[in-house]
Amino acid sequence: MTTTRPLLGSPMTRLEGREKVTGTARYAVDYPVDRVAYAWPVPAAVARGEITAVDATAALADPAVLAVLSYENAPRLHDTDDRTLAVLQSPHIAHRGQFAALAVATSLEAARGAAAAIRVAYAPEPHDVILTRDHPGLYKPDEVDEGMPTDREHGDFDTVYARAQVRLDAVYETPPLHNHPLEPHAATAMWDGDDLTVYDSNQGATAVQHVLAELFGLATGKIHVINEHVGGGFGSKGTARPHVVLAAMAARVVRRPVKLALPRNQLAAVTGHRSPTIQRIRIGADTEGHVQALAHEVTTQISALDGFVEPAAVVSRVMYAAPNSRTTHRVTRLDVPTPSWMRAPGECPGMFALESAMDELAIACGVDPIELRVRNEPTVEPDSGLPFSSRHLVECLREGTRRFGWHDRDPRIAGKHEGRLLIGSGVAASTYPVYVMASHAEAHAGPDGSYEVHVSASDIGTGARTVLTQIAADALGVPLDRVRVRVGSSDLPPASVAGASSGTASWGWPVHKACTELRQRLEALGHSVPEQGLTVAADIAEDLDDREDYARHAFGAQFAEVQVDTVTGETRVRRLLGVFAAGRILNPRTARSQFIGGMTMGLGMALLEGSTMDPAFGDYAERDLASYHVPACADVPEIDVHWIEEEDPQLNPMGSKGIGEIGIVGTAAAIANAVHHATGVRIRALPIHPAVLMPPLAGARQASPS
Amino acid sequence: MGAMTAVTLHINGERFSRELDNRTTLLDLLREHAHLSGAKKGCDHGQCGACTVLLDGRRVNACLLLAVSMDGTDVTTIEGLSDGNALHPLQQAFLDHDAFQCGFCTPGQICSAVAAIAEARAGWPSVVTAQDEPEGPVELTAPEVRERMSGNLCRCGAYVNIVSAVREVAR
Ligand code: FES
Ligand code: FES
């Protein structure tokens, strides 16, 4: 009998790695296509109003220009739930940057030139774009993030808080943040009769297929969405975005394939972003730091076209034992771009606030911040009362303490200098829920001993293709090179999006199920594969229904050391450490990269990222990569990542929790807490720019001339 | 229709000749006319480095150059780095160190790293090179690599692994 070494848990190299390093991996607008035309959108130049005229005369004077589309002549689309996809359907402009027109030409240069030559006239209306804590339009949404309650109340917060020995009341703010995947949203669309094929940059081919079918009034089988390689998404490609609708529409009109890659400076307005949050946190505790009352009240915004309500207070329903608590969300509708998902929506901004507040509480009580968190560790999930399927936050904190050298830290504030630099360190917890979504897969055994596994999964850089192959080969009990996993097409068995850190669980489960059953059927046949091969299909909908009730979350602890220049006000991160407990780690190589990637984006959130709503124009001022600063190589120090061995039988057959998002959760708080330790300055509104640190640092220098 | 100009250059050792719209960038020449889609368009404004290629051996942002000004030049793209099936040492190091996730920045990172290593060998200082550093090759320490590779953004955050991949090849 031959045995194979389990592939799950081994650091396999990415299967598509060779294509990526040789430049042969094809992304949405990389496919050679005959007779291709190019489209270039025209963004609306008012924040609210009506288009009164579209003059395409000058644009159409160039014979290379095939069409100019606007609401006046664009094909009619069917309605969907997502109003951002109703492109060029109405003269009404809901926000600046919404598409007003589209130029299509035989060359990229002509399309761009034509877009610049289109004259759109508007009747502008007054706009309202600035979020405030007392905005008159604030209301209580029915729910946040599909089915989560808007508000929760336990015990008697007001009374217990009023009587608490130690009280903290602080407001934290996170700015608008933009996903900016390095590949802009892009699509190549081709019609063949009523069949539409799109190479599209998205996080879920099945989802995009369904919405295109709805918009164009076609059967889903007529729509073929291919996303073989995707240049990142971070939530902003989690559903169909307007670019793909425009491309398909243009291809239909000009009767040629059309490529459309959004110019970078259009992304902020039309591809979704993380909305700004204003979060008030109040904590009442005893002098030992036991939290008795906790309120987390979130104010945020959506657009005139709706959008996603950032569920930032949800973390306070999960993290700490607080017998009396209140968590609320209030939202207002503004004339702004439509917010959507960005890496760890809810958890990421929410944990900046909560974990900053826990640091403030630790200092107020004179308790070590790690000890404070340990003291408030709950036995069951505080809001639901459900047992945790597994929770190893304390172990992460303890392991991080040891690895980071936390015990050597002098808790005194602003106590460590190196010349003009102030040095400090900080800690914060991380958390992210375990999600699984219904998906299908098929496993096929060929008579030659090879296996094919099909699932409409999306590898947006996570390593999904690789880990699914590991899962399949293990379940089949064969070496890796006998198995080919196909992903990245809506023609494959339908599957969920690469989002909510759910991909590996949602796709791996049906892959595991199909392969396990295929193996059993082959064993029953005495390992002789019929001539036409043997195929097994699997669906996990029932398995999901059968799961027991548990609170399922991953946890982690993040540590940061920073230096703050007292002359320039610049903060630089010297080192980051993350310790995570996320179930079984199925591929340590790609997992480590994902954790580091999340922490890197968290560093960006802490120090660099954020955009400003221009009140006069109703527009995000930082729209390109020169003004919206994502971390560059020189911003990022050595990042150390470890994980706790965690066995949890309540997850899925692989025993894994998602890891794509938890890395960004808590990083910004750990860095802000480190900045406070270094300088004594508490930054409650991100990012920590020199401009916000300089005045208090200068003040401190004057107070103590040394 | 824009004014057209004929241009002839060598791409990965092969002669390429075409009449092009004067507005065409080198990046669009490569991607749309030469069908070499390895160089990527992340921003089209010289802000991300995804389009980095080697022009007469030096790294450039192909999105910032007009194709018609490239007459007589030698351009090397990511497709031209490997020798048949044998990967360039940097391509291999990127694989070994998992120095990418989505891979969209990767062709630009690798081309940029090829030139960064050559620049350090030729003794070009960077802003983090010590003032009193003697003439001659600059050692590619981690801060040197971070500085010299900062024209290539990676939104997936693969920098930690990119630095170790580049340092391994520079050694
Ligand atoms: S595409 Fe050239 S630098 Fe971004
Ligand atoms: S690997 Fe995705 S941007 Fe670098």
Sign, CA torsion B88/B92/B98/B101: positive
pLDDT value for A480: 94
Q: What angle do CA A213, A216, A220 make, to 5 degrees?
A: 20
Asked if B45 lies within 8 A of A624 by C-beta distance, the reply is yes
Any idea which residue has 């940029």 for tokens? B112
Task: Tell whether A232 lies on the interface with B, counting CB pairs under 8 A.
Answer: yes
The percent of residues above 90 in pLDDT, for chain A, comes to 97
Q: Which are the catalytic amino acids of A?
A: 661
Ligand 1 pocket residues where CB is under 6 Å: B 41-44, 46-51, 61, 63
pLDDT value for A704: 59
What pLDDT, in 10s, does the model give residues B97-132? Answer: 999 999 999 999 999 999 999 999 999 999 999 988
Band of pLDDT at residue A1, cut at 50, 70 and 90: very low
DSSP A632-664: PGGG--EEEEEE-----TTS-TT-B---TTGGG
pLDDT value for A706: 46
Q: How many angstroms does the Cα of residue A182 sit away from the middle of ligand 1?
A: 10
What is the third-level CATH fold of A37-126+182-232+237-270?
Answer: Aldehyde Oxidoreductase; domain 4 (3.30.365)
Instruction: Give the separation between CA A644 and CA A117, rounded to whole angstroms.
Output: 59
The answer, yes or no, to whether residue A700 has pLDDT greater than 90, is no
Contact B145, B151 (CB under 8 A): no
- All residues of chain A having their beta carbon less than 8 Å from the beta carbon of residue B39 are 23
Pair type for strands A553-565 and A421-433: antiparallel
Phi-psi region of A531 (alpha: psi -120 to 50; beta: other; left: phi over 0): alpha
What pLDDT, in 10s, does the model give residues B11-35? Answer: 999 999 999 999 999 999 999 999 9
Q: Which of residues 111-140 of B touch A (CB under 8 A)?
A: none
Closest by CA position to B82, among listed A16, A21, A229, A31: A21
pLDDT value for A705: 47
Q: How many angstroms does the Cα of residue A627 sit away from the middle of ligand 1?
A: 14
Length of chain B: 171
In the CATH hierarchy, which top-level class contains the domain A351-434+549-703?
alpha beta
Band of pLDDT at residue A698, cut at 50, 70 and 90: confident
Instruction: Give the separation between CA A288 and CA A3, rounded to whole angstroms.
Output: 55
Instruction: Give the separation between CA B31 and CA A506, rounded to whole angstroms.
Output: 36
What pLDDT, in 10s, does the model give residues A84-93? Answer: 999 999 999 9
Written as one letter, the residue type at A264 is R
Band of pLDDT at residue A2, cut at 50, 70 and 90: very low
Count of pairs with CB atoms under 8 A, one residue in A, one in B: 190
Instruction: Give the separation between CA A258 and CA A106, rounded to whole angstroms.
Output: 9
pLDDT value for B84: 86
The percent of residues above 70 in pLDDT, for chain A, comes to 99
Instruction: Give the separation between CA A93 and CA A74, rounded to whole angstroms.
Output: 16
Task: Tell whether A35 lies on the interface with B, counting CB pairs under 8 A.
Answer: no
CB-nearest to B157 from A16, A31, A597 is A597
ipTM: 0.98
Stretch A410-428: mean pLDDT: 96
Q: Chain centroid to CA B151: how far?
A: 10
Instruction: Give the separation between CA A632 and CA B67, rounded to whole angstroms.
Output: 28
Q: How many angstroms does the Cα of residue A687 sit away from the middle of ligand 2?
A: 23
Task: Tell whether A60 lies on the interface with B, counting CB pairs under 8 A.
Answer: no
Question: How many angstroms separate the CA of residue A608 from the nearest CA in chain B?
Answer: 13
What pLDDT, in 10s, does the model give residues A322-359? Answer: 999 999 999 999 999 999 999 999 999 999 999 999 99
Stretch B156-168: mean pLDDT: 98
Q: Which of residues 133-152 of A touch B (CB under 8 A)?
A: none
Sign, CA torsion A582/A583/A584/A586: negative
Atom 3 in ligand 2: residue holding the nearest Cα: B154
Band of pLDDT at residue A5, cut at 50, 70 and 90: low
Write the CA distances from A518 to A167, A464, A515, integer angstroms: 60, 21, 5
Q: Which residues pair with B16 in a beta bridge?
A: B9
Closest by CA position to A61, among listed A101, A103, A108, A102: A103
What is the atom index within ligand 2 of the atom nearest the CA of A232? 2
What pLDDT, in 10s, does the model give residues A585-637? Answer: 999 999 999 999 999 999 999 999 999 999 999 999 999 999 999 999 999 99
Asked if B156 lies within 8 A of A232 by C-beta distance, the reply is yes
Which ligand sits nearest to residue A25's alpha carbon? 2
Same-fold call for A17-26+437-544 versus A37-126+182-232+237-270: yes
Stretch A180-209: mean pLDDT: 98
Q: Give the residue on A whose Cα is nearest the Cα of B150.
A: A633
- All residues of chain B having their beta carbon less than 8 Å from the beta carbon of residue A184 are 41-43
Instruction: Give the separation between CA A630 and CA A687, rounded to whole angstroms.
Output: 12
Domain ranges in chain A are 17-26+437-544, 37-126+182-232+237-270, 351-434+549-703
Contact A529, A660 (CB under 8 A): no
Stretch A23-48: mean pLDDT: 98
Closest by CA position to B72, among listed B2, B6, B4: B6
Q: Which residues pair with A247 in a beta bridge?
A: none
What does the block give as tokens for A611?
Answer: 């955009």
Written as one letter, the residue type at B20 is L
Atom 3 in ligand 1: residue holding the nearest Cα: B46
Selected residue of B111, B156, B163, B166 to mutate for chain A interface (largest A Cβ count, 10 A):
B156
pLDDT value for B133: 85
Closest by CA position to A601, among listed A555, A557, A666, A657: A666
pLDDT value for B1: 65
Q: How many angstroms does the Cα of residue A195 sit away from the middle of ligand 1?
A: 34
pLDDT value for A147: 85
Stretch A465-477: mean pLDDT: 97
What pLDDT, in 10s, does the model give residues A530-582? Answer: 999 999 999 999 999 999 999 999 999 999 999 999 999 999 999 999 999 99
Asked if A231 lies within 8 A of B95 by C-beta distance, the reply is no
Instruction: Give the separation between CA A516 and CA A537, rounded to whole angstroms.
Output: 11
What pLDDT, in 10s, does the model give residues A635-693? Answer: 999 999 999 999 999 999 999 999 999 999 999 999 999 999 999 999 999 999 999 99
Q: Which residues contact A524 (CB under 8 A, 6 or more apart)?
A: none
- All residues of chain A having their beta carbon less than 8 Å from the beta carbon of residue B28 are 108-109
pLDDT value for A186: 98
Closest by CA position to A633, among listed B108, B120, B149: B149
Q: Which residues contact A546 (CB under 8 A, 6 or more apart)?
A: none
Selected residue of A12, A15, A20 to mutate for chain B interface (largest B Cβ count, 10 A):
A20
Our mutation pick for probing the ligand 2 site, out of B102, B149, B152, counting the most ligand atoms within 8 A of Cβ, is: B102
Task: Tell whether B165 lies on the interface with A, counting CB pairs under 8 A.
Answer: no
CATH number of A17-26+437-544: 3.30.365.10
pLDDT value for A193: 97
The answer, yes or no, to whether residue A527 has pLDDT greater than 90, is no
Asked if B37 lies within 8 A of A597 by C-beta distance, the reply is no
What does the block give as tokens for A297?
Answer: 């009240």
Tell which wins on pLDDT, B133 or B59.
Answer: B59
Helices (H), A442-540: 464-476, 503-524
Asked if A108 lies within 8 A of B154 by C-beta distance, the reply is no
Ligand 2 pocket residues where CB is under 6 Å: A 182, 232, 461; B 100-106, 154-156, 158
Asked if A264 lies within 8 A of B146 by C-beta distance, the reply is no
Domains of chain B (ranges, CATH numbers): 4-80 (3.10.20.30), 89-170 (1.10.150.120)
Task: Tell whether B78 lies on the interface with A, counting CB pairs under 8 A.
Answer: yes
Pair type for strands A258-261 and A37-43: parallel
What is the atom index within ligand 2 of the atom nearest the CA of B102? 2
Instruction: Give the separation between CA A24 and CA B37, rounded to whole angstroms.
Output: 8
The answer, yes or no, to whether residue B61 has pLDDT greater than 50, is yes
pLDDT value for A703: 66
Stretch A457-475: mean pLDDT: 97
DSSP A160-227: HHHH-SEEEEEEEEE--B----SSPSEEEEEEETTEEEEEE--S-HHHHHHHHHHHHT--GGGEEEE-
